[in-house]
Amino acid sequence: MAKKSISDVDCQGKVVLMRVDFNVPQDDSGSITDDRRIRMALPSIESVLSRGGKLVLMSHLGRPKGKGPEPEFTLKPTAERLAQLLGTPVSFASDTVGPDAEAKITSLKNGDVVVLENVRFNPGEKNGEAVYSGKLASWADIYCNDAFGTCHREEASMVAVPLAMGNKPKVVGFLVAKEIQYLSDTIANPQRPFVAILGGAKVSDKINVISNLLGICDQVLIGGAMAYTFSLAQGGSTGKSLVEKDKVELAKELIAKGGNKLVLPVDTHCGDAFSGNCNKQVVAAGKIPDGWEGLDIGPETAKIFSAIVEKAKTIVWNGPMGVFEMPPFDHGTVAVAQAVANSDGISIIGGGDSAAAIEQLGFADSVTHVSTGGGASLSMLEGEKFKAVELLDNA
């Protein structure tokens, strides 16, 4: 069901507590190496500020122990980057529910913004302790969830804080609204043919996704290392490829459930070592010799997958077709990315590596939606409902 959006509420003079996902990658010196997550939250942030709201941003960064501040996980660099992106000052509170946060929030003027320190420095973020959640809730007039990357989690800033706000408005930001629109609504009522392309390292990470999508897609294409576990299930040989022997029975069940819908590779690009400079050969699927490992789908598979993808009206893609970080084993992923970009259907790219691949290959503008969430988009593709979203006001 559609949720009430930040654009539906009057923000003038109101304290808007917005949960964002500023969990950005950083280098060893703490410099942000990719600010995409901050940029993705800008539409909601600017909407509140331009309408005279007093904006309080909260996020986690990394995995601190939850027992107090840890300098390497501070959100300060994200506040600085946000100030650059907005072209206006952004204040930063050195705590989340302490005296600095309280002072900075109470002195906000209309159109001001403060970033609170990492919510995960507080034990209350994990255990949902009432004093912690209650304090954040009491400072705010409106709660907004624009943290798609964390929507599958039930930490306090996602669940206990909005619940503690009682009848005050609880809304989605533009980013979360868009993710729900594509990863949930579009998939529930797809234009057909509806094709899913699933790849990546491990079948175990995506069993529920494959199972759910086999129920709703017309075809599910499998690439990446997880294809080799399916190959084992069919009695094929996989050499020293990455396989999950304990998932072979499960792969057999998925093959039986999928029938003709499940499309497995017909050939494999192998190497004799995990390196771009190794000796290489293309072999038929399930015929990988001893001492060799599959590192990409082969050219024939790339052709078959591309032809299916180009005819699709709805496409969901999660996971690369091979070790795309290591050319020439990026060819399969590039071919599929090109086919997705060529298609005139709705194309939805799951987060994580497939989002990185589509960006890196320069196709991001040719697809309908690139999800910002890794785990969250996988959970949504599993058909899971999120408590953090369910509790928000309906439109």
State the nearest-atom distance from the C-beta of 17 to ligand AMP, in Å: 32
Residues forming beta bridges with residue 269, ordered by sequence position: 282, 296
298 counts as binding ligand AMP under rule CB under 6 A? no
Distance CA 167, CA 23 (A): 29
- Show the tokens assigned to 321: 């077709």
State the nearest-atom distance from the C-beta of 371 to ligand AMP, in Å: 13
Q: How far is CA 204 from CA 190, 231, 355, 363, in A?
A: 26, 15, 20, 28
322 counts as binding ligand AMP under rule CB under 6 A? yes
Q: Is 352 known to be catalytic?
A: yes
- Residue 290 contacts residue 243 (beta carbons within 8 Å): no
How many residues does the structure list for the chain? 395
- Residue 381 contacts residue 187 (beta carbons within 8 Å): yes
State the nearest-atom distance from the C-beta of 162 to ligand AMP, in Å: 30
State the nearest-atom distance from the C-beta of 350 to ligand AMP, in Å: 8
177 counts as binding ligand AMP under rule CB under 6 A? no
Instruction: Please report, as residue ranges, which positions from 216 to 235 form the binding site for ligand AMP (by CB under 6 A).
Output: 224-225
Name which position in 64, 319, 345, 351 contacts ligand AMP (CB under 6 A). 319
169 counts as binding ligand AMP under rule CB under 6 A? no
Task: Single out the residue of 104, 96, 108, 172 nearest to residue 134, CA to CA.
Answer: 96
Name which position in 17, 90, 251, 295 contacts ligand AMP (CB under 6 A). 295
Q: Is 36 known to be catalytic?
A: no
Sole window of 26-34, 71-79, 201-209, 361-369 interacting with ligand AMP (rule: CB under 6 A): 201-209
361 counts as binding ligand AMP under rule CB under 6 A? no
Task: Single out the residue of 51, 44, 58, 46 nearest to residue 13, CA to CA.
Answer: 51
**Quick one: how far is CA 82 from the chain centroid?**
21
Pairing relationship of beta strands 293-297 and 267-271 according to DSSP bridges:
antiparallel
304 counts as binding ligand AMP under rule CB under 6 A? no
272 counts as binding ligand AMP under rule CB under 6 A? no
Q: What is the DSSP letter of 384?
A: P
Residues in contact with 112: Cβ distance below 8 Å, sequence separation at least 6, in sequence order = 49, 54, 55, 91
Q: How far is CA 308 from CA 38, 202, 312, in A?
A: 35, 23, 7
User: HSE (CB half, 13 Å, CA atoms) of 322?
Assistant: 31
Q: Which residue in 3, 14, 19, 37 is the catalytic one?
A: 37
Instruction: Please report, as residue ranges, which positions from 60 to 119 form the binding site for ligand AMP (by CB under 6 A).
Output: none
Name which position in 97, 323, 380, 388 contacts ligand AMP (CB under 6 A). 323
Residues in contact with 197: Cβ distance below 8 Å, sequence separation at least 6, in sequence order = 221, 223, 305, 309, 315, 316, 317, 318, 319, 321, 336, 340
Instruction: Please report, as residue ranges, which positions from 36 to 65 form the binding site for ligand AMP (by CB under 6 A).
Output: none
Q: Is 236 known to be catalytic?
A: no
373 counts as binding ligand AMP under rule CB under 6 A? no
Query: End-to-end CA distance of the chain, in Å?
Result: 8
200 counts as binding ligand AMP under rule CB under 6 A? yes
205 counts as binding ligand AMP under rule CB under 6 A? yes
325 counts as binding ligand AMP under rule CB under 6 A? yes
State the nearest-atom distance from the C-beta of 316 to ligand AMP, in Å: 13
Q: Is 37 known to be catalytic?
A: yes
Name which position in 353, 367, 370, 372 contacts ligand AMP (CB under 6 A). 353
Please work out the total of residues on this chain that contact ligand AMP, with binding judged by CB under 6 A. Answer: 16
Residue sitting closest to ligand AMP (CB): 200
- Show the tokens assigned to 180: 């729900």
Q: Which residue in 178, 375, 383, 387 is the catalytic one?
A: 375
- Residue 220 contacts residue 261 (beta carbons within 8 Å): yes
**Which residues would be at the binding site for ligand AMP (CB under 6 A)?**
200-202, 205, 224-225, 242, 294-295, 319-320, 322-323, 325, 352-353
Catalytic residues: 37, 202, 352, 375
